[in-house]
Amino acid sequence: MSEETTEKAPQEAEQNLLVANDIYLKAGIHIGTKFKTKDMKKFIYKTRNDGLSDLNLEVIDERIKLTANFLANYAPEEILFVSRREGSFKALKLMKKLVGFNAFAGRYPPGVLTNPALENFIEPRVVVVSDPWADQSTVKDTTLAGITLLGFCDTNNLVNDLDLILPCNNKGKKSLGLIYYLLTREYMIKRGMIKNAEEFSASIEDFTEE
């Protein structure tokens, strides 16, 4: 009798992905930088001849599912998305409209998580940043407030303060648009807001900056 294997056939692996493999590849969701931190090495599939490191695509897909499943434990108003990356502004505004998430696209208001005296003070249970480096002021306040922190991390990111890492290209507008599209779609399915992916009315392009 031949030994059983847990490896998935290419066709089976493709079917298990949230979107087709070529959609991920065209968005460049796996393309990292020429720098890699010790924290992110375990997510890297290979380093190319041009010096850029490729992140493991199947792991990215698994982490998007994991992130969506985790967020689905919370109501939309308990979740805050923050991003200084211009490539995510359109997506964050649409997520706020479709689902009701709290979102800061652009400048994060200092103290909004730590100073109850501020008019715009909020108390989310989860904060999601698109880049721990670009959103470092948010990371600092979230940590001080003791709030659960999730972050999109490229190969050059440090992840010390994160409770959950989503490895990905967190700089490209197509990559960011696709990630936010999938997180929104999967969150809505898990929360029973829509029955399945076919019922999701928005497109990837709706989440992607031109």
- Looking at residue 125, which CATH number applies to its domain? 3.40.50.10490
Mean pLDDT, range 106-123, rounded to an integer = 95
Evaluate whether residue 112 is within a structural domain. Answer: yes
With a CB cutoff of 8 Å and minimum separation 6, the contacts of 67 are: 128, 150, 164, 166, 183
What is residue 4's predicted lDDT score, i.e. its pLDDT?
40
Q: Give the 3-state secondary structure of residue 126.
A: strand
- 47-51, 148-152, 189-193: least confident range: 47-51
Evaluate whether residue 113 is within a structural domain. Answer: yes
Q: Give the 3-state secondary structure of residue 152.
A: strand
> Is residue 1 pLDDT above 50, yes or no?
no
196: left (phi over 0), alpha (psi -120 to 50) or beta: beta
Boundaries of domain holding 102:
10-207
- pLDDT tens by residue, 34-57: 999 999 999 999 999 999 999 999
Pairwise CA distance, residues 167 & 141, whole Å: 22
Evaluate whether residue 125 is within a structural domain. Answer: yes
CA angle 189, 195, 197 (to 5 degrees): 70
The token pair that represents 143 in the structure block: 């940590």
Number of domains the chain contains: 1
According to DSSP H, which parts of the chain are helical?
A: 10-16, 21-27, 57-71, 89-98, 136-145, 173-190, 204-207
Evaluate whether residue 3 is within a structural domain. Answer: no
**Residue 174's pLDDT band (cuts 50, 70, 90):** very high
> Is residue 175 pLDDT above 70, yes or no?
yes
Pairwise CA distance, residues 159 & 95, whole Å: 25
> Is residue 194 pLDDT above 50, yes or no?
yes
Report the percent of the chain where pLDDT is more than 90.
92
- pLDDT tens by residue, 57-91: 999 999 999 999 999 999 999 999 999 999 999 99
- pLDDT tens by residue, 3-29: 343 444 444 456 699 999 999 999 999
- 46-55, 122-131, 162-171, 180-189: least confident range: 46-55
